[in-house]
């Protein structure tokens, strides 16, 4: 009788550990673990078109994830998309003249924001805005195909 009870306790512990591991894995995959992080600072970037960029998309610099997109909204005065980037606290030395581009991971992968460091000795601080002239919007494949077809049609009529 005692042996059966011990086995049941160990099975219960094993199942509880399995559920805890599954919960941690799902939070890691969905990036919910980073929602509660208060450390770091925010940077604002404005784009003409963000394509398929989403909240919680990665912010990368040199291929390394340094933060995530915290918020996306539409500015009805400038008619631009405004992305708030949450940068992790260990990346405090990002030059203020850094440029931002919306890039795609792979041919049909998810979009992320790639930062290219500038040359200034002044660094970004909380709620700084990146220079809008240094922000490159997402490449929209439909627009490129439309431009290609239009240019092919105009060349064939000449």
Global pTM reads: 0.70
Whether the CB-CB separation of 105 and 111 falls below 8 Å is answered with: yes
Structure confidence at residue 105 (pLDDT): 84
* 120 alpha-carbon distance from chain centroid: 24
For the chain, the average pLDDT equals 87
Which pLDDT band, with edges at 50, 70 and 90, does 32 fall under? Answer: low
Residue extents of the structural domains in the chain:
1-30, 37-146
User: Across residues 107-116, what is the average pLDDT?
Assistant: 86
pLDDT in tens, 129-138: 998 888 888 8
User: Across residues 88-102, what is the average pLDDT?
Assistant: 93
The secondary structure of residue 38, as a DSSP letter, is -
Secondary element (H or E) of residue 95? none
């Amino acid at each position: 009788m005692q042996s059966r009870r011990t086995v049941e306790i160990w099975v219960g512990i094993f199942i509880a550990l399995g559920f805890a591991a599954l919960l941690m894995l799902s939070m890691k995959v969905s990036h919910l673990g980073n929602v509660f992080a208060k450390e770091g600072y925010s940077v604002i970037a404005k784009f003409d078109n963000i394509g398929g960029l989403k909240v919680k998309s990665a912010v990368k610099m040199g291929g390394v994830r340094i933060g995530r997109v915290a918020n996306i909204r539409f500015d009805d005065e400038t008619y631009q998309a405004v992305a708030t980037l949450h940068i992790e606290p260990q990346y405090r030395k990002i030059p203020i003249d850094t440029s931002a581009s919306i890039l795609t991971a792979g041919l049909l992968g998810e979009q992320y924001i790639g930062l290219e460091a500038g040359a200034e000795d002044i660094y970004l601080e909380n709620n700084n805005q990146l220079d809008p002239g240094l922000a490159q919007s997402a490449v929209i494949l439909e627009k490129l195909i439309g431009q290609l077809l239009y240019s092919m049609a105009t060349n064939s009529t000449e």
